[in-house]
């Protein structure tokens, strides 16, 4: 099978690494890719923001299957265009990608199909949103409706903070994404991520993970795209997984199909495990980054036929086998991230990872033949172990051999799970 992978982050390096192990693969192309992905794929300079360019490349190269990594091309309709031309695609239509592209859309699906989530209202003007917040009181959560690069949500502990967040949204802090606002009830509990494939009619549960969004140790400081993750999430017991499938995933899949937007791709459900059980915080419609890296380390099955079955409506014919060993990834970022940081700093050396370990590339590039850091999040040092504690120890041993002067990381990735292991 000739496959095109779209994307250039650590998530796509993990997907490329796993796809390249498939006996069904003949050629893997990646657009635009990165130097890590280039170990497993031929990089092609296709503009992935241009759906016509992607379609032309697939026609010219007789591509059999397209795997879309990030959300932006999905929201921009790349899967629709490719499907209309007869290509098999892993990733939802633009209409179904609204599950990630509009928080209000998702909340309405939850309301219509009785999916557990915080009570909410949608607003298109500040005075009504503020009146609702005053009526509800704090804590309360204010969200820009659209894609806001992980910056559009305020978990407000006071009414004043929530009112200020409403002003930010309507004054344009998040551009068009803030033209509508969702105000929702605060959910108290432990957060976890749940990944599940859907071909529109069948669902296949994958695995669970937890991530660290804050830049600082002890989960402090500003939010980032994610500083590390591990899988599985101890809070997601088999009972919680079963309830999540029954109470959240299956009604969503049915609701999307009934609403005229059958969902094909990966449901990445952000959950809060509250006293009542799993409640939905949000959906993403692609794999998490860096959660994908730990999922791919634990997946024993061939990824390619699983993704292809998702794209072709035959998900009931495949299964996914997982290693019981936890996997953990530590993100190395450029000093200054998530604020401003120097670009093109040299990465002198990346250690050879042994079995059960891998250094994935995110924001790297080759400049005059030398590896440099070009992004905020740059490398994902990943390892497995018999426990999260062992996976963490192995990841940091590997990470300490990376020679990159401008890099930093958190030293406590996995602390919650490790605390449980010690208890
Ligand atoms: N209703 C809620 N109650 C408590 N915390 C919430 C709630 N909604 C969101 N959060 C917190 O805010 C974070 C970001 O919200 P989310 O809806 O996932 O937005 P995004 O990932 O698009 O920025 C969540 O990971 C969670 O920690
Ligand atoms: Mg989120």
Q: What does the alpha-carbon distance between residue 7 and residue 90 come to, in Å, rounded to a whole number?
A: 13
pLDDT for 150 equals 81
Q: Taking the chain, what is the end-to-end CA distance rounded to the nearest angstrom?
A: 48
Top mutation candidate among 141, 153, 226 for ligand 1, by most atoms within 8 Å of CB? 153
Residue 32 has pLDDT above 90, yes or no: yes
pLDDT digits (tens, 9 = 90+) for 172-182: 999 999 999 99
Q: 394: CA distance to ligand 1 center in Å?
A: 31
Q: What whole-number distance in Å separates Cα of residue 170 and Cα of residue 167?
A: 5
Per the prediction, the chain carries an average pLDDT of 97
**Measured from the CB, is residue 75 less than 6 Å from ligand 1?**
no
Average pLDDT value for residue range 337-344 = 97
Ordered by start, the domain boundaries in the chain are 2-94, 125-179, 190-317, 327-422
Is the Cα torsion angle 247, 249, 250, 256 positive or negative in sign?
Answer: positive
Fold held by 2-94: Rossmann fold (3.40.50)
Question: What are the pLDDT digits (tens) for 177-207?
Answer: 999 999 999 999 999 999 999 999 999 999 9
Atom of ligand 1 nearest to the CA of 186: 3
Looking at the CA of 147, which ligand is closest?
A: 1
Which ligand sits nearest to residue 110's alpha carbon?
1
**Ligand with the closest atom to the CA of 150:** 1
Measured distance CA(287)–CA(267) in Å, rounded = 8
Residue 186 Cα, ligand 1 centroid: separation in angstroms?
9
CA distance 45 to 316: 36
For residue 296, how far is its CA from the centre of ligand 1 (angstroms)?
25
SS3 content of the chain, % helix, strand, coil (to 5): 35, 30, 40
Residue with tokens 């650590």: 10
Question: What is the DSSP track for 3-62?
Answer: EEEEE-SHHHHHHHHHHTT-TT-SEEEEEE--TTGGGTSEE----TT-HHHHHHHHHHTT
For residue 143, the model assigns a pLDDT of 97
What confidence score (pLDDT) does residue 188 get?
Answer: 97
- pLDDT tens-digit profile of 225-259? 999 999 999 999 999 999 999 999 999 999 999 99
190-317 adopts what CATH topology? D-amino Acid Aminotransferase; Chain A, domain 1 (3.30.470)
Cβ of 322 closer than 6 Å to ligand 1, yes or no, is: no
Identify the pLDDT of residue 217: 97
pLDDT in tens, 55-112: 999 999 999 999 999 999 999 999 999 999 999 999 999 999 999 999 999 999 999 9
Q: Is a pLDDT exceeding 90 seen at residue 160?
A: yes
Q: 281: Cβ below 6 Å to ligand 1?
A: yes
pLDDT at position 151 is: 86
CATH code for 125-179?
Answer: 3.30.1490.20
Ligand 1 binding pocket includes 189 (Cβ within 6 Å)? no
Q: Which ligand is nearest to the CA of 71?
A: 1
pTM, whole model, 2 decimals?
0.97
Give yes or no for residue 150 CB within 6 A of ligand 1: yes
Query: Which residues are paired to 372 by β-bridges?
Result: 346, 365
Query: What tens digit of pLDDT does each residue of 303-339 get?
Result: 999 999 999 999 999 999 999 999 999 999 999 999 9
pLDDT band at 403 (very low <50, low <70, confident <90, very high): very high
Tell me, using a 6 A CB cutoff, whether residue 184 lines ligand 1. Answer: yes
In this prediction, residue 149 carries a pLDDT of 82
Q: Which residues surround ligand 2, an ion (CB under 5 A)?
A: 270
Topology of the domain covering 327-422: 3.90.600
Whether residue 357 has its Cβ less than 6 Å from ligand 1: no
Q: Is 375 helix (H, G, I), strand (E, B) or coil?
A: coil
pLDDT digits (tens, 9 = 90+) for 100-147: 999 999 999 999 999 999 999 999 999 999 999 999 999 999 999 999
């Amino acid at each position: 099978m000739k496959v095109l992978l779209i994307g250039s982050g650590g998530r796509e390096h993990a997907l490329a690494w796993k796809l390249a192990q498939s006996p069904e693969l003949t050629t893997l192309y990646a657009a635009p890719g990165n130097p890590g992905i280039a170990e497993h794929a031929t990089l092609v300079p296709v503009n992935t923001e241009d759906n016509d360019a992607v379609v032309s490349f697939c026609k010219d190269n007789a591509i059999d299957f397209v795997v879309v990594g990030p959300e932006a091309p999905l929201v921009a309709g790349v899967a629709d265009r490719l499907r209309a031309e007869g290509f098999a695609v892993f990733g939802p239509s633009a209409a179904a990608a609204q599950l990630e592209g509009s928080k209000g859309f998702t909340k309405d699906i939850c309301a219509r199909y009785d999916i557990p989530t915080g009570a909410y209202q949608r607003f298109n003007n500040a005075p009504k949103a503020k009146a609702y917040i005053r009526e509800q009181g704090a804590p309360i959560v204010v969200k820009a409706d659209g894609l806001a690069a992980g910056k559009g949500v305020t978990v407000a502990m006071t009414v004043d903070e929530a009112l200020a967040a409403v002003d930010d949204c309507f004054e344009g802090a998040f551009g068009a994404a803030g033209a509508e606002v969702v105000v929702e009830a605060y959910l108290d509990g432990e957060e976890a991520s749940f990944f599940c494939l859907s071909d529109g009619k069948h669902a296949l549960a994958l695995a669970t993970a937890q991530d660290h969004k804050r830049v600082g140790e002890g989960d402090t400081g500003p939010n980032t795209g994610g500083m590390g993750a591990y899988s599985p999430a101890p809070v997601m017991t088999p009972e919680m997984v079963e309830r999540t499938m029954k109470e959240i995933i299956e009604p969503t899949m049915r609701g999307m199909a009934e609403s005229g937007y059958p969902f094909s791709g990966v449901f990445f459900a952000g959950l809060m495990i509250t006293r009542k059980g799993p409640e939905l915080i949000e959906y993403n419609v692609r794999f998490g980054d860096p959660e994908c890296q730990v999922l791919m380390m634990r997946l024993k099955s061939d990824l390619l036929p699983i993704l292809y079955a998702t794209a072709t409506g035959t998900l009931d014919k495949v299964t996914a086998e997982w290693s019981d060993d936890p996997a953990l990834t530590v993100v190395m970022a450029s000093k200054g991230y998530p604020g401003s940081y120097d670009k093109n700093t040299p990465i002198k050396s990346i250690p050879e990872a042994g079995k059960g370990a891998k250094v994935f590339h995110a924001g790297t590039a080759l400049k005059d033949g030398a590896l440099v850091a070009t992004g905020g999040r740059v490398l994902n040092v990943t390892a497995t172990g018999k426990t999260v504690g062992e996976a963490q120890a192995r990841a940091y041993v590997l990470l300490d051999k990376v020679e990159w002067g401008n890099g930093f990381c958190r030293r406590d990735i996995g602390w919650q799970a490790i605390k449980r292991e010690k208890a």
